Structure 1
């Protein structure tokens, strides 16, 4: 989301831009729409193993393709709340303020919503930040079971809203509201992923080129150590050196940090690491799947991911702010393995046929010991201990009660672990002070003259909603307001 959006933003500014992607274009094929291929066989999961510092190897939820994880994301594209950019008191500490205010990024949110074809309905969400204009497209209508849930929630005094979502439901658009959107590649290119909406238009401009199947392994600097001179990469088994005037990292918070660490001088710190913060303050949200079942009625919803509520986002009770609730794409039997590997497939199928499926997120705090390192075997190691869990447990409890009052007597919950990391952020944080941050407020490394970071690694806090639109908006802000394009 960061790299493709930045290339799109730079495409008409006179610079020659080379985008380096370690993967290739994700193939358009029948299996895009196959739950068994995508979820059971993991056809498109092409990442290497990472290592949990306490339990060993795991396969992370990252995808190396043009467009990155957005090829399979649920296309939920909310703005951060205005208060998320300031210091927020959480149950276990203070979520730090950003070095920018909401007003600094608001015009870029508006541009990102246009580029990523965001559908939404203003005025429904009590936590919604102010807007300089309407959503580009109207909210996506709920199907009957979701509309009934929204009515029930309103009867309980809650304020559900149409989730901002990026799909091509314009007049003549390609979206057919299928059951294979959230978690799937889109066979019709109708999901607003970074490949379709940003990278392809950038390539069409003529001054942007793309190197696929190319993995950058190290950045080299001049003798002073203050200027990057080249990126060393491998492509189809051969070494490739990329020389440029300016370099931007947008590999995702984990891989951006890992590349900086691999590019260090041998002093125990990475490149751009004068603060000692590279890799530290890793955040990934506290998240839980909720599957609410009514055995008495089938849920025939096809396109379910249209509803959310934030009534407890700013809760001022003893637990502090709790977080966001949103519907998931409709679970099908192969996808319902999230409930447990030992549950027989027929039971999973029966549960999925009668369920409404939700995703809950709560903010986690940046802490120095939650970090990314690279070990002696050049492996990515994740040191992660969840924090601020009491509010998340309360969010799960309240959501469970709300679903039972809505007529779903059986509610299953499962909190996500270290491998569910699509909301990763915080490993190269931005700030004014070089002693406590890695990059300045416009993404430029404090320690280097020509290196920027344009992904969620720069986030000082995680907020409690999906980060995709904020990554895109910040990339537009870097291109428009910072030194990069000058």
Structure 2
């Protein structure tokens, strides 16, 4: 085994939203920080705009294979580049609602309370919005939680054909609000003629884990990013629970480093898998797993694409994704159970439709796209210990059964009815494939009880005092909005805690 002679003080595993934001938050510590990223940097390439390659050929997806509960193989919706999945995200950086931090009763069960309330995370939401340069307007959303600072940048304006639909929804008494977006639309429009949602980019105006957080650490000589470095095991000290060694593979060599602190941010599936894979004689069920909950409580939003069509409507927009609806977020609008969030999708072109309908003629798909508008309905998936990640050697099996689906079906119906009232006489919907995870979370949850929760409220493992897990794994609940901003806010909170309490010692 080749041993790296440059021993870092802190190792961060993964450069997605959690890992990159942690690096930014710790950059001023003057300690040597090594970021281990299994992927490489996203190239500046014409392929980034090629919708046939992105959607039909799945050019950017890795060759990785997972298995479902029936032992059927599938390629997951995960990407391995510097910046992680955020290179492809829709750049919606929304705060969880104040009620999301409290116990909430859903038709399908209970969404548990977090170990702290919204007020604890609010200052860090502000800091994360500043870091990721979020554009927004907090006035129109009826569920908007209290905030101590306004958005620093004005919301991105609707394109003309999208503004028409917003006005039609307002006439129905609904409250469309401007999505909080981490996009410099002027810069994006100068170089890209595609949506940012699901489209990779280099440095084209979308602020993700790389272009926002990591780019600001470039001037810090104490931070090193090592790409093509896949962590395969964490080793504990023989006489205690400290993580003593991080083992990774790079250039067909096995290397290891011995840091003071380990920050695991490899994503909800791979973080849990690494902890399980790192089991030893002292921890036969895996690391941080006294509770038996590592890998369990996997959550993934219930999601459906809803498309409204009318030959009398012409959609000439490029990016489309500028407003959402939370009218049914806290209840069904009539005092019933919460249903979820609705937001525009990035513009779905005929070429994108072709990836799902390969036999359909291109001219028909282009016509349909030109006269339609595309929405995304998203409802909360509730934690269940039976929804879990399991390992057999390196084989990852995802056991996941949807729950709270009846509420999601009602949300889709509410949206479909609203679109029909807007003049879209044909509305079609398609649930996202449950074997293709997105917004994964919950597999190494934080809490207040070491017997039930692998992590404390600062994402520190109860059993390993120098191990922190700071990605979507830590989430006790999934809420029903995009998780990226909450991950970033918690990462800044944890980084501050480490700086103030641990590194000060």
TM-score, with length taken from structure 2: 0.92
Q: How far does residue 255 in structure 1 lie from its aligned partner after superposition?
A: 0.5
Q: Which moved more, 1:294-303 or 1:438-447?
A: 294-303
CA deviation string 1:401-424 (max 9, x = no partner) = 101111111111111123432200
Change (3 A) 1:96 1:84: same
Matched with 2:324 is: 308
Which piece of structure 1 moves more, 339-348 or 245-254?
A: 339-348
- Which residue number in structure 1 is paired with residue 59 of structure 2? 43
TM-superposition CA deviations, 1:335-390 (whole Å, max 9, x none): 124754554443322221211011111001100000011114x1111000000001
Identify the match of residue 353 of structure 1 among 344, 364, 370: 370
Per the alignment, residue 18 of structure 1 pairs with 34
Asked if 1:248 corresponds to 2:263, the answer is yes
> Equivalent residue of 1:291, what SS?
strand
How far, CA to CA, are the matches of 1:315 and 1:429 in structure 2? 26
2:411 corresponds to which of 355, 377, 395: 395
- Is the 8 Å Cα contact of residues 373 and 382 (structure 1) preserved in structure 2? yes
Structure 1 37/484 Cα, relative in aligned 2: closer, same or farther at 3 Å? farther
- SS class of match (2:135): strand
Structure 1 stretch displaced more, 334-343 or 118-127:
334-343
- 2:42·2:201 contact (CA, 8 Å) conserved in 1? no
3-state SS of paired residue (1:65)? coil
Q: What TM-score, normalized to structure 1? A: 0.96
Give the one of 122, 128, 132 matched to 2:138.
122
**What residue number does 2:20 align with?**
4
* Equivalent in 66, 74, 79 of residue 63 of structure 1: 79
Residue by residue over 1:75-126, the C-alpha shift from the partner in whole angstroms, topping out at 9 and shown as x without a partner, is 0111100110010001121100000111111111111111111000121100
RMSD between superposed Cα atoms in Å: 1.6
* In structure 2, distance between residues paired with 1:100 and 1:186: 35
2:432 is aligned to 416
Paired residue secondary structure (2:151): coil
Q: Aligned pair 1:191/2:198, yes or no? A: no
8 Å CA contact 1:279–1:372 kept in 2: the answer is: yes
Q: 1:292 to 1:131 in 2, by over 3 A?
A: same
Shift of 1:485: 4.4
Matched, 1:330 2:330: no
- Distance across 1 between alignment mates of 2:120 and 2:492: 11
- Using the TM superposition, give the Cα deviation of residue 270 of structure 1 relative to its aligned residue in structure 2, in angstroms: 1.3
Gaps of 5+ in 1: none
Match of 2:446 in 1: 430
- 8 Å Cα contact 1:431-1:441 kept in structure 2: yes
Q: Distance in 2 between matches of 1:129 and 1:178?
A: 34
2: CA distance between counterparts of 1:303 and 1:254?
30
1:224 is the counterpart of 2:271? no
Q: Partners in 1 of 2:167 and 2:413 — Cα distance? A: 20
In structure 2, the residue matched to 1:461 is 477
Distance 1:419 1:117, change over 3 A: farther
Q: Which residue of 1 aligns with 2:307?
A: 291
- Is the deviation greater in 43-52 or in 240-249? 43-52
Q: Distance in 2 between matches of 1:341 and 1:447?
A: 51
Answering whether residue 197 of structure 2 is matched by residue 182 of structure 1, we say yes
SS in 2 for 1:261: helix
Distance 1:145 1:174, change over 3 A: closer
SS of residue matched to 1:372: strand
Q: Is there any run of 5+ residues in structure 2 with no aligned partner, and where?
A: 1-16
Structure 1's 423 and 485: CA in aligned 2 closer, same or farther, altered over 3 A? farther
